[in-house]
A and B are shown apart, each in its own frame.
Chain A
Amino acid sequence: MSDSLTVGIIGAGYIGTRHAACWSRLPGARIAAVADIDRAKAEALAAPAAAAVYESAEALLADASVQAVSICTPTDLHRPIAEAAARAGKHILCEKPMALTPDDCAAMTAAAEAAGVVFTVGHVVRFFPEFADAKRQVERGAVGNPAAVRTRRGGSFPRPESDWYADPKRSGGVILDLLVHDIDWLQWCFGPIKRVYARGLTDRGLERLDYALLTMRHENGVISHVEGTWADPAGFATTFEIAGDGGLLTFDSRKARALSFAARAPQPEGAAPGVVVPASPLAAEDEPFYRQIAAFADSVVNGAPLAVDPADACRAVAVAAAARESLRTGEAVELG
């Protein structure tokens, strides 16, 4: 990238920190500002880049030196911040899920279009090499005509300091926050989902336990099943399998560990003794969040086609919303 791109990070929590780490090593990009309601967090993230520090999204968006923003706040804030960012003429990479409702998604998309800014959503799973490769395999006919697809994603309940995941009104629970990844990937690979039947724990009010099982039908006839858990103390894992009339493609992150480390003594920043810390390390330029941010920057600076169209992200939220509705009604929900 020859031109310089100045970036603002809005939200300096876990995911904002990951965005910042990628932006900081992307050639031609510079973190110009960081905003967080917790000033200390914003300062910590801003310091290495000598970036400006703000305590609100509004203040950061008023900074004329910022050309593009990573929106890394809790989900309920995505819409107002994205709309304000669009009005301020900033290009937008918004974390997933795009918003809490399809209506919010439509409003955000309209705002970005009206402002003429680049707008995309962080469906980072598309940049995970195993998930990207699976799509390539399907497209080259490696499994023949796909028929039955399964995914599993999850681990223990996410618990940042603010604990916003525990409020389904803010996070949407495991279906909207976590399974939106698989829903987007499924629709990316197999086309639109037309029917959803879901059962889950989101509305049960259990103490930091959420879990859901989605049974879905795509418009092209493919049947898919998604398991999502924020109730598994065994650690984060993902799996998928694609069964077709010509073969079967399977993946299990628990079996794709290129490196496993078990310490004999306590580590300064790591697991307790005897706990295996598995890893699937990738070259720096292949790291999914880095590739996502590089792709967004390429769209902003060079006009490259969007890797994730907001319409796709909106459609993923619509399916997640239908799954939530199915939880409430106990019936299958047809998507328009």
Chain B
Amino acid sequence: MRSKTEIHELLNLYIFGALDPAEKAEAEEYLKNPEFLSYYKETRFLLDHTAYSYEEELQVPENIKSEIFLKIEETSTLADENFPADQSDNILRPSFFNRYGFAIAASVVGFLLIYTFTLTQQLNVQSTLIAKLQSEYEENHHFVDFVSNPDVFQIKLAADDQSKAVGNLAWNKTSNDAMLYVSNLRELPDENVYQLWVLHKDNSVIEAMGTFNVNPDGTYMLTIGCMPKPSDTKAIYITMEPEGGMPEPTGNKYLSGYL
């Protein structure tokens, strides 16, 4: 039986990934106790905020602020274009004598504007569809090219629950590049993403390999440029995490595959 101090020491080393598998399992048992879970979370908070000690090391380059504001300006402009401001104050008012003629003319112009707008919208939709199909074709072509390489092997990822979600990781064992294709995963709300993880053979390292959300049809293709060596890897899995991803897995597993 460990003393409280020893348990704290164990949890400190747990945070730093410095435990062997048996000790790690023991630490996780202790984390089921609210008191030790609080200790763990408090320590993580404290360690996160030691980042303040670096705050004054370098001055932020002055141009970055204006670049950021330009970017958010672009975002706002796009939003404004989608929801134009009310222009009613700027409309010219017809005189008392020709208001009916003006009204008819205005109706015709309005109809023509709406008609033109509708046509433009349809054209935009068609253009978007063509671009999407072209992009999908290129993506699929790229995937076929990739898996045709004799150095590429594939790992099937299966759902941990009853869902029909599946995945396929094509992995080039020479270049350590990979392509992940998933299907039948449900689309996530904006505040969540799927995150791909690689578990090393000795269980001591879990590497974050990228985040994504699926297309409306539940599919997605992710290219990964820096996979570890297959010989060092035990498993691949996908979890759901908060938007932006997490440094370590916190959500449920959706797909997993083993080497």
Do A and B actually bind?
no
Q: Using CB atoms and an 8 Å cutoff, list the residues of chain B in contact with chain A.
A: none
Interface residues of A (CB under 8 A from B): none
